[in-house]
Amino acid sequence: MSQTVDRALSILPLLAEGPASLEQVATRLDVHKSTALRLLRTLHDHGLVYRQQDQRYRLGARLFALAQQAVEALDIRGIAHPHLAALNERTGHTVHLAVYEQGEVVYIDKVESRYPVRMYSRIGRPVAITVAAVAKLLLADLPEPERRAVAEGLDYPRYTPRSTPDAAAFLAELARVRDQGWACDLGGHEESINCVGAPLHGPDGRVCAAMSVSAPNVVVTAEELLRLRPLILRTAEAIGAELSGVAGPSSRAAAPAAASPSVTKGATR
């Protein structure tokens, strides 16, 4: 491991706590001022560190730009797909992946239980937003005012007697979903079809997608389907971990002791 780079990178979490002077940095790194200066200069040249008027250092804009760019470059579908396929393999049921976009919830991937070749059949189509498990999960994570605004702007078609009847009922359901961290649709869209779904958390901790497992009553009862919940949640967490880029099976020694786990909300079970 490169000592120089190691030291330089150790500066970042240090500055994340708040602005620090050259000497403070040097002291906490246990190196001489001149060394710290050169490291900080290099970080500065790359925009990762910014120098205030009072000459103290802070984290810089490039850091945010990088994080943002990385999120945008994230290929949710590509990363999730193997997991979804594995889940389909184990359960045999149809697996969906969906995202929220501009007031709509759309499927972006689907693994069909019996016809793997035709699994893109309905991708891109909007979901039955008032009843689908994935829709509930995605809407439940929106900020409160937006959530209410969307809910109140929707139609509530009575697909079945179990469909969500109105905005009030929908908002109550969203609150429940938000609390429990998973969602289901038991015959709310088509009488004989049930789904169980879980949220996918992105690097920033917010729900960036949702997945669900669907099966008709004739294959498994709702009860049996709900029994898959732990498995589904575990899959969702695994995908989330991969999206966020949490260290996998690599445990190298000699890392600075302060390497604490992510500070993102939610997924910390």
Partner DNA sequence: CGAGACGTTGCACAATATGCAACGGCCATT
Partner DNA sequence: AATGGCCGTTGCATATTGTGCAACGTCTCG
Binding site for DNA (CB under 7 A): 2-7, 21-23, 31-35, 37-39, 55-56, 269
Based on the shown chain and the rule CB under 8 A, indicate whether residue 175 belongs to the binding site for a copy of itself: no
The phi-psi region of residue 163 (left if phi > 0; otherwise alpha if psi is between -120 and 50; otherwise beta) is beta
Residue 194: closest CA among 183, 204, 202? 183
Nearer residue to DNA within complex by CB, 1 or 257: 1
Residue 22, contacted partner among DNA, a copy of itself, none, CB below 5-8 A by kind: DNA
Residue 248, contacted partner among a copy of itself, DNA, none, CB below 5-8 A by kind: a copy of itself
Dist CA 57 CA 104 (whole Å): 43
Based on the shown chain and the rule CB under 8 A, indicate whether residue 46 belongs to the binding site for a copy of itself: yes
Dist CA 217 CA 186 (whole Å): 10
Q: Please, are residues 119 and 112 in contact by the beta-carbon 8 Å criterion?
A: yes
Phi, psi of 20 (to 5 degrees): -145, 150
Window of 109-117, 119-127, 140-148, 180-188 that interacts with a copy of itself by CB under 8 A: 140-148
- Nearest-Å Rg of the Cα atoms of the chain is 23
Nearer residue to DNA within complex by CB, 3 or 102: 3
Based on the shown chain and the rule CB under 8 A, indicate whether residue 244 belongs to the binding site for a copy of itself: yes
Helix (H, G, I), strand (E, B) or coil at 139: helix
Residue 18, contacted partner among a copy of itself, DNA, none, CB below 5-8 A by kind: a copy of itself
Nearer residue to a copy of itself within complex by CB, 147 or 189: 147
Residue 21, contacted partner among DNA, a copy of itself, none, CB below 5-8 A by kind: DNA
Dist CA 269 CA 266 (whole Å): 8
Nearer residue to DNA within complex by CB, 37 or 167: 37
Size of the site for a copy of itself (CB under 8 A): 74
Smallest gap from residue 185 Cβ to a copy of itself (A): 23
Smallest gap from residue 44 Cβ to a copy of itself (A): 7
Q: Please, are residues 130 and 154 in contact by the beta-carbon 8 Å criterion?
A: yes
The 8-class DSSP code of residue 244 comes to: H
Choose, by CB under 8 A, the member of 20, 26, 29, 49 that binds a copy of itself: 49
Long-range contacts of 256-261 (CB under 8 A, 24+ apart): 256/6, 256/10, 256/13, 258/13
For residue 95, the tally of other CB atoms under 10 A from its CB is 28
Residue 50, contacted partner among DNA, a copy of itself, none, CB below 5-8 A by kind: a copy of itself
Q: Which of residues 86-125 bind a copy of itself (CB under 8 A)?
A: 103
Choose, by CB under 8 A, the member of 26, 148, 167, 209 that binds a copy of itself: 148
